[in-house]
């Protein structure tokens, strides 16, 4: 075996941990716990056991006065022509992908799954060789990842002593490359719990481990589980947002709301509602019963009141979102479809727009143009936050924890004040009651408002920016970070507010009964008040809902009903 490795007749050296266990069981435990370190140790030991190379004799006869020590000059990876691998013990069981946790980092782990993607085998640089343009010396950089930061300044003693500022130039001919392939595996369908999406894992194959699997293969693979660390500018971006930076503002609620689509004139309360939709309430799960925390909003209005522009802005600012239209969407496209995989010929479930927008926002434009059969497909999503399918022998329940933002026109194109709300909206009560807020935006002629709106539109058209405001709008990237910070809070409703909220709801029901209100005040209205109040508490980064939050939620409900 040593002769084959020495003469490069064999590249891979596989060490069976079962054989090593008979020699020293403690050593096997150390190998399993810190695999990469012991892989280098074993490679150095093999280097000492191999017969002498001619290159080693040349190095030994070099004059140390003329050249630097070869141990500092040549990395071991550059001269080594073999690879060391560990074969796990026979009693080691393969883990499901979702069982890989932080405790497995750095350890030798075995996972199994199905290959869903395999790239071509390409060369990857493992040792980069540089030459200095001043002193001519060579510098070597060991590389362990597909991306690396090249060296720039020469570290040789001549350049450091003379301060000549030598620059390094990469020499591809003197560098060492190894075979590299990236494959992606996905867990088997029998390992996926009900209501969950299959998880995947990216695997880097190097050297002799490449080309062993292709898409569709069911494999068990042994390797070292490592995190993908962010470097460079991406690392600098992490953790830049602090609480004190945002809390330094006064009336921050209004500034955040007005920073949503500042190029659109007016609609202050609607922008506040959209801000609360982005933040969302808090989900409640008690004894298997789930109460959603996501806020659903419907914008109903005349043509040309910037409904689609508001939806487009929310689609851009939301961290996870899907944008679709009513006429271009089917019930299957919104929920889930059962298809046959062209690679494996297996029946697979492909999620629609609502599944892909899980824990995000789904914007549906032209909601009134959607067919009734397709519109009923989202009833379950809006309240239960799941999608249940029973097709082609597949019974599954997919998560769709999504906020619905819908935009629609009245039944006759424009709102007709001479007709009742039912004739103008023509949406079923079961659907309307699932919207926490329903805004009706009418285009009423008003000289002062029309003048300000015309000035605003012409300024935006001529300058491609919004007019100067009394405050500086918050940047979209900063808003996105602050919304993510708000979502980390889980405020609770204190006991002393319970009577106040119930009394307010009873009063709402009383007023609706007395005025023959047709805006569907039901028990869902009470849950909407609680959701909006918790979203307001989240916006303040508070842990407890206050009375002012409940009052603002009640005001939002009243303002939306006044538009009807």
pLDDT (tens digit per residue) in 389-414: 887 777 778 888 888 898 888 877 77
Helix, strand or coil, per DSSP, at residue 318: coil
- Mean pLDDT value across residues 337-352: 73
Residue 26 pLDDT more than 60?
yes
Residue 544 pLDDT more than 70?
yes
pLDDT at 391: 79
**pLDDT band of 165, cuts 50, 70, 90:** confident
CA–CA gap between residue 484 and residue 235 (Å, rounded): 18
Residue 338 pLDDT more than 70?
yes
Least confident stretch, 43-52, 115-124, 220-229, 348-357: 43-52
Percentage of the chain beyond pLDDT 90 is: 2
Domains in the chain and their CATH numbers? Answer: 1-92 (no CATH), 93-238 (2.40.50.140), 239-563 (3.40.50.300)
- Mean pLDDT value across residues 313-331: 81
pLDDT (tens digit per residue) in 465-520: 777 766 677 888 888 888 888 888 888 888 888 888 888 888 888 877 776 655 56
pLDDT at 534: 92
Contacts of 17 (CB under 8 A, 6+ apart): 28, 31, 32, 86, 87, 88, 89
Helix, strand or coil, per DSSP, at residue 71: helix
Residue 143 pLDDT more than 50?
yes
In angstroms, the Cα distances linking 238 to 373, 407, 476 are 45, 35, 17
Least confident stretch, 33-42, 53-62, 275-284, 350-359: 53-62
Mean pLDDT computed over every residue of the chain: 78
Among 199, 200, 197, CA closest to 397 = 197
CA–CA gap between residue 557 and residue 536 (Å, rounded): 14
CA–CA gap between residue 197 and residue 387 (Å, rounded): 12
- Mean pLDDT value across residues 426-446: 81
Residue 69 pLDDT more than 70?
no
pLDDT (tens digit per residue) in 262-306: 777 778 888 889 999 999 888 887 666 778 888 999 988 888 777
Residue 235 pLDDT more than 80?
no
Least confident stretch, 96-105, 133-142, 243-252: 243-252
CA–CA gap between residue 43 and residue 39 (Å, rounded): 6
Rg (CA), the chain: 32
The distance between the two most distant Cα atoms of the chain, rounded to a whole number of Å, is: 105
Pairing of strands 386-391, 361-365: unpaired
pLDDT at 242: 36
- b (16+ CB within 10 A) / e for 254-284: ebbbbbbbbbbbebebbbbbbbbbbbbbbee
Residue 309 pLDDT more than 80?
yes
**DSSP code for 98:** G
Which DSSP helix (H) or strand (E) runs through 406? strand 403-408
CA–CA gap between residue 520 and residue 421 (Å, rounded): 11
pLDDT at 70: 42
């Amino acid at each position: 075996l040593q002769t084959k490795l020495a003469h490069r007749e064999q590249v891979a050296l596989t060490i069976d941990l079962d054989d090593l266990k008979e020699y020293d069981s403690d050593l096997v435990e150390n190998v399993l716990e810190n695999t990469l370190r012991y892989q280098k140790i074993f490679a150095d030991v093999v280097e000492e056991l191999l017969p002498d190379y001619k290159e080693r004799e040349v190095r030994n006869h070099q004059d140390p006065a003329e050249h630097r020590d070869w141990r500092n000059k040549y990395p071991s990876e550059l001269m080594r022509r073999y690879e060391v691998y560990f074969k796990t013990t026979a009693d080691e069981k393969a883990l499901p992908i979702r069982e890989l946790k932080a405790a497995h980092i750095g350890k030798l782990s075995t996972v199994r799954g199905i290959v869903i993607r395999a790239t071509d085998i390409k060369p990857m640089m493992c040792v980069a060789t540089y030459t200095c343009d001043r002193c001519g010396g060579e510098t070597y950089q060991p590389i362990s990842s597909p991306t690396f930061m090249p060296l720039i300044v020469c570290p040789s003693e001549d350049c450091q002593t003379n301060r000549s500022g030598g620059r390094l130039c990469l020499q591809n001919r003197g560098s060492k490359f190894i075979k590299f392939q990236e494959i992606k595996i996905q867990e088997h369908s029998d390992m996926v719990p009900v209501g969950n999406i299959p998880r995947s894992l990216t695997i880097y194959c190097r050297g002799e481990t490449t080309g062993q699997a292709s898409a569709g293969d069911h494999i068990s693979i042994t390797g070292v589980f490592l995190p993908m660390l962010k470097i460079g500018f991406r690392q600098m971006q992490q953790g830049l947002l602090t609480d004190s930076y945002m809390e330094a503002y006064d009336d921050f609620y209004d500034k955040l709301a007005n920073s949503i689509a500042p190029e659109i004139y007016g609609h202050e309360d609607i922008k506040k509602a959209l801000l609360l939709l982005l933040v969302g309430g808090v989900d409640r799960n008690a004894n298997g019963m789930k109460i959603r925390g996501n806020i659903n909003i419907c914008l109903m209005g005349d043509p040309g009141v910037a409904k689609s522009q508001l939806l487009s802005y929310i689609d851009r600012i939301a961290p996870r979102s899907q944008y679709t239209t009513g006429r271009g969407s089917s019930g299957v496209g919104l929920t889930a479809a059962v298809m046959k995989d062209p690679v494996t010929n297996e029946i697979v479930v492909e999620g629609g727009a609502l599944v892909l927008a899980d824990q995000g926002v789904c914007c549906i434009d032209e909601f009134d143009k959607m067919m009734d059969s397709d519109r009923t497909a989202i009833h379950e999503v809006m309240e239960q936050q799941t999608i249940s399918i029973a097709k082609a022998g597949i019974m599954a329940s997919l998560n769709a924890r999504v906020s619905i933002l819908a935009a629609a026109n009245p039944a006759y194109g424009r709102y007709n004040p001479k007709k009742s709300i039912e004739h103008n909206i023509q949406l079923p009560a079961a659907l309307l009651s699932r919207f926490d807020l329903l805004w009706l935006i009418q285009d009423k002629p008003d000289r002062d408002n029309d003048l300000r709106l015309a000035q605003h539109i012409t300024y935006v058209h001529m300058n491609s920016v919004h007019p100067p405001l009394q405050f500086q709008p918050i940047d979209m990237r900063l808003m996105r970070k602050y919304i993510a910070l708000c979502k980390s809070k889980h405020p609770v409703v204190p006991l002393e507010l319970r009577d106040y909220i119930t009394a307010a709801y009873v009063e709402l029901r009383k007023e609706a009964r007395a005025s023959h209100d047709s805006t569907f005040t039901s028990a869902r209205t009470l849950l909407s008040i609680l959701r909006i109040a918790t979203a307001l508490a989240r916006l303040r980064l508070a842990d407890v809902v206050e009375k002012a939050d409940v009052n603002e939620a009640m005001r939002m409900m009243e303002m939306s009903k006044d538009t009807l």
